[in-house]
Structure 1
Amino acid sequence: MKLSGALVSLVLVVLTSFFLFRVLAGDPVDAVVGDTPATPEQVAAIRERLGLDEPMAVQFWEYVRSLFTMDWGTSYVSNDKVTDLMLDRLPETVLLTGTALVISASVGIWAGARSGWRHGSPGERLQVAVSLTLWSTPTFWLGMIAIVVFSVKLGWFPANGMTSARGVADGFWPHFLDVAHHLVLPALTYAAVLYAQYVLIMRTSILEERGSDYLTVARAKGLRDDHVRRRHALPNALLPTVTLVAVEFGVVFNGSVLTETVFSWPGLGLLFYQAIRIPDIPLLQLLFVFFAGTTVVANFLADILYRFLDPRVRRSA
């Protein structure tokens, strides 16, 4: 049933991508023509070349037919295959979102476990307040604040881009350090929002485990409180958080749109923003299917993972 639900969701995503971007304001022909004056005949020729002069039913049929050949078309602006444009930008997005996910998950799980174990303490109340604030803060606003403080005022980190415009010395390490320097602000900004989710969910899981009988037995054996938390409570409390990590592998690509746009990070998020301004319909269709599709697949895999990790779910299924 889960597999069939995921397949139906993917089909709906693919079909929705065709209609969604044809209601956007703006004419793609304007982007192709640019600032150069064009005659009505030239505009008609461009519209014919792009297939925009055909009835909607014909365009939809061509779209469905192209899916079976995995030919998503070419960009209206660059005339490059949209699959090539996406694959060129994918490593940059994986670098940003992967770094943010590793930081947020590792620090958030640790902080959430300690916060839940010390329920009622001043540190726990402060942790919850900070997490709720970060979770409710818009990513683009947090990014702009980070740019103003750490880039404009303090000058510690670059405000945008992935590499220095002036260039760096040849060699792996100079290039690596330059990219890492540009990565700090966008990665930490995105990680701050994800971190809040892990803290709150891990804290809730620990609170649910605190009163369990097996922990009472462990304490009765004379085990140290820290040992009881790390060796007994934490493994069971990790189940919902592990599922969240699996889901985030798909969701982080969607969230990268705002982060990459604010910091001009040259990944899929910025590419999506640039395409929607035109609108570059073939590129938008592919990116929408990729973003939504990875979320659907990640949710499906997370459900399977949870069933594998928790025998109680398998028995109740």
Structure 2
Amino acid sequence: MTAHRPSADGSPDRDPSAEQAPAAGTRTAPTGRVTTGFGRYLLKHVSGAAVSLLLVLFSSFFIFRLIAGDPIDQLTRERPVTPEQREAMRAELGLDQPMWNQFLDYITGTLTGDLGTSLQFRRPISELVLERLPATLLLAGTGVVLAVLLGFWIGTRAGWKQGSRFDRAHVTTGLLLYSAPTFWLGMIAILVFARYLGLFPVNGMRSPSTPDEFLPQALDIGHHLVLPVLTYTAVVYAGYLMVMRSSILDEVGADYLTTARAKGLRDDAVRRRHAVPNALLPTITLVFLAIGGIVNGAIVTETVFSWPGLGSLFVSSIFYPDRPMLQALFVLFSSSTIVAVLGAEILYWFIDPRIRKS
């Protein structure tokens, strides 16, 4: 037994180790490890997204200078100009500056929202993008939502009933549509539903004869939207179908599903309550990429149906060629995908315990 010397006030000395150890059953204060871990995780992926964005800016600046030619040649191909006028135009566009200064101006302008002026339309690019963006969001957004819902619904049932007639029929149909060129499906849709049957308009977003009231305009836009959306959905939904089907197949033989069946749950309830939530995890990245791809639009679909969105604007800028517009759209399309992937990575932290433990 260890003897304790009395202190100056007559009370025995306290064991320092006893003061440091918490009493049994006492709840300790949180260490903040989870918060710190999420901070490191977030910083890691935000830093990666920032590096990717800088690489996109760097690539767009130099690549389009190689493939789009000299902007002065594009501006002067319809009218001859003197050498003095060419130099004045180069100075106005900042092309007389050293390449490094042009790059810094480009980075600064892009990060502050100044995307430059279109050579083709002679208007600020930001205005043109804002004008065309709603049409792209309407077409691609509607198509993505339908493709995701249809692909997940069919993929869930096809994977749950592997080898059934439903599985074989829908997988075969989806893969055939997925492998078909988008422009070919669009042309077939135009020939059948527009030319022969006369059910839908051929191109554009509005009819000139439509009254200016909200309801007639909305119905007219919806009428024009049917064929482009069906074409876009038919091409892309098979990707979600196959991913969801594969995820369901990975879960079918799991022990927790056997336990759920042993508890007396019906087969539909086992699939809906247990298999589907776990199978959705591998598809999150695919869904977020689809969300990021909404801004990119359906470039081929918009071109086939003359839909006035960013996709058709990108194609017309290629043929002009409009270097500032190509640079701006390339950065916009790429950054939307980068942001979407970042959102998926952040969501993984909250829904996947394995990431929090790593």
**TM-score normalised by structure 1 residue count:** 0.92
Partner residue in 1 for 2:60:
17
Partner residue in 1 for 2:321:
279
CA distance in 2, matches of 1:14, 1:153: 47
**TM-score normalised by structure 2 residue count:** 0.82
Partner residue in 2 for 1:244:
286
Residue 191, structure 1, aligned to residue 233, structure 2? yes
Q: Equivalent of 2:299, from 246, 257, 265? A: 257
Matches within 5 A, 1:187-226: 187-226=229-268
Partner residue in 2 for 1:56:
99
The AA in structure 1 aligned to 2:151 is G
Moved more, 131-140 or 21-30: 21-30
Partner residue in 2 for 1:90:
133
CA distance in 1, matches of 2:269, 2:110: 54
Residue 154, structure 1, aligned to residue 209, structure 2? no
CA distance in 1, matches of 2:264, 2:111: 64
CA distance in 1, matches of 2:258, 2:120: 66
CA distance in 2, matches of 1:306, 1:129: 32
Partner residue in 1 for 2:45:
2
Aligned residues: 315
Q: Is the 8 A contact 1:243 1:302 kept in 2?
A: yes
Moved more, 7-16 or 78-87: 78-87
Residue 182, structure 1, aligned to residue 248, structure 2? no
Q: Equivalent of 1:109, from 127, 148, 152? A: 152
Q: 1:69 to 1:221 in 2, by over 3 A?
A: closer
Residue 123, structure 1, aligned to residue 127, structure 2? no
CA distance in 1, matches of 2:46, 2:104: 27
Unaligned runs of 5+ in 1: none
CA distance in 2, matches of 1:262, 1:313: 43
Which structure's CA Rg is the greater one? 2
The AA in structure 1 aligned to 2:124 is K
- Residue 130 of structure 1 and its aligned partner are, at CA, apart by 1.5
Residue 266, structure 1, aligned to residue 308, structure 2? yes
- Residue 172 of structure 1 and its aligned partner are, at CA, apart by 0.9
Q: Is the 8 A contact 2:120 2:317 kept in 1?
A: no
Q: C-alpha root-mean-square deviation of aligned residues, in Å?
A: 2.0
Q: 1:34 to 1:149 in 2, by over 3 A?
A: farther
- Residue 192 of structure 1 and its aligned partner are, at CA, apart by 1.6
Q: Is the 8 A contact 2:201 2:224 kept in 1?
A: yes
What SS is found at the alignment partner of 1:229? helix
Q: 1:153 to 1:239 in 2, by over 3 A?
A: same
- Residue 286 of structure 1 and its aligned partner are, at CA, apart by 1.3
The AA in structure 2 aligned to 1:180 is G
Q: 1:68 to 1:181 in 2, by over 3 A?
A: closer
Q: Is the 8 A contact 1:257 1:269 kept in 2?
A: yes
What SS is found at the alignment partner of 1:22? helix
Unaligned runs of 5+ in 2: 1-43
Q: Is the 8 A contact 2:297 2:310 kept in 1?
A: no
Partner residue in 1 for 2:184:
141
More helix by share: 1
Superimposed CA distance per residue, residues 223-257 of structure 1 (whole angstroms, 9 cap, x where no aligned partner) = 22122111221111122223321221112333522
Identity of aligned residues (%): 56
CA distance in 2, matches of 1:81, 1:175: 28
Residue 75, structure 1, aligned to residue 118, structure 2? yes
Superimposed CA distance per residue, residues 29-48 of structure 1 (whole angstroms, 9 cap, x where no aligned partner) = 34434534444544444344
Superimposed CA distance per residue, residues 46-75 of structure 1 (whole angstroms, 9 cap, x where no aligned partner) = 344333344434432332343454322211
